[in-house]
Structure 1
Amino acid sequence: MFHAFDNDGPNQPLQRQQWMALLARAPLAVLEPALGHYLDRPAGRAVHWLRRPEVGLMMVQGRAGGTGERFNLGEVTVTRCALRLQEATGALAGVAWVLGRNQRHCMLAAVADALLQDPARQAQLDAELLEPVRQHLRLLAHERSNRAQSTRVDFFTLARESDGGANEEDDEQ
């Protein structure tokens, strides 16, 4: 489904669209240890909320067979937020949209978005945060593939043996 985002070409620079797609699908168990301390700072907090996490609905569209006309499939719950991090290198703004109602996930994804915009931190965060997310998503895709493979049915056709039509000639005579 997200093949283009999950499979970067070799030596491709990290792009915001790619990391935001990964962060939106990242498990909270991966984000929390790496970024939780940014949100849990005491009174001199470095996080300034531009938009606190809020839950809403978004219309999802689909296509019949993947190629037909678009139609409204239904609504999904999403959480969004925007923040500004005050860091030594300056203020960095981060935003996030995630499926579901998990506000903590949305906040951590926004923190990661802000930090990833700093070129000095990109390589480190890619290795320590985004690569575990990619591995997790590859594992989920592999498990989903295995479940689908276990229900696979192979159809085959048996060819009827024929002796070249000799019986038909005998019947006519």
Structure 2
Amino acid sequence: MAEQMETNAAARQGWMGLLARAPEKDLLTLWAKVTDRPAFKWLRSPEVGGVMVRGRAGATGAPFNLGEMSVTRCSLVLEDGTVGHGYVQGRSKPKAEAAAMIDALMQTDAATALQEVVIEPLRQKIQAAQQTRAAKAAATKVEFFTLVRGED
């Protein structure tokens, strides 16, 4: 039972992270393809706020405040009681609303259809963008080497 809860939590973290990182245009375009949208009530309507972004020098040093970032968040509940949350970077209320609704629906029987229509296409687009960026960076890589001179 505990293992399944951990698996469910990890899966949910995965799709929520994907929704948060997805470009707004791509997310809203794919979300528009979903026609079967259940009724819901707001627990927290979309609101824009700020969060402090923290960093670490060398990823292991002492944490420091890097700066502030705008975030939009919302929470909703479906008629069946399923709760969905949306946290996205920036000031897009429609993106946060779509993320919250997708989060809620991914916890229901509609998850398989949403996986095919929204989640997988987003995952593929983000992976393709990362690979393109990595290829551009690799093209500028300079390898330094030293020849042994034998003067010892």
Q: Shorter-chain-normalised TM-score: which range?
A: 0.7 to 0.9
What percent of counterpart residues are identical? 44
Query: Which residue number corresponds to residue 61 of structure 2?
Result: 68
Do residues 92 (structure 1) and 82 (structure 2) align?
yes
TM-score by length of 2: 0.82
Partners of 2:33 and 2:114 lie apart in 1 by: 15
4+ residue stretches of structure 1 with deviation over 4 A? none
CA contact (8 A) 2:56 2:62 kept: yes
Aligned to 2:143: 154
1:144 and 2:137 matched = no
Question: Distance in 1 between the 2:48 and 2:60 partners?
Answer: 31
Give the match's secondary structure for 1:72: strand
Cα-Cα RMSD: 2.5
- Give the number of the structure whose alpha-carbon radius of gyration is greater: 1
**Structure 1 residue ranges without an equivalent (≥5):** 1-11, 166-173
Spell out, residue by residue over 1:120-163, the C-alpha distance to the aligned partner (whole angstroms, 9 max, x if none): 2222211221111110111111111112112211112233366x
Which residues in structure 2 correspond to 1:15-34 (within 5 Å)?
Answer: 15-34=11-30
Alpha-carbon shift at residue 37 of structure 1 (Å): 7.7
Q: In structure 1, how many angstroms separate the alpha carbons of the residues matched to 2:11 and 2:71?
A: 23
CA contact (8 A) 1:30 1:129 kept: no
Query: How many aligned positions are there?
Result: 144
1:57 Cα deviation after fit: 0.7
1:123 aligns with 2:112: yes
**1:76 Cα offset (Å):** 0.8
Whole-angstrom CA distance in 1 between matches of 2:126 and 2:29: 18
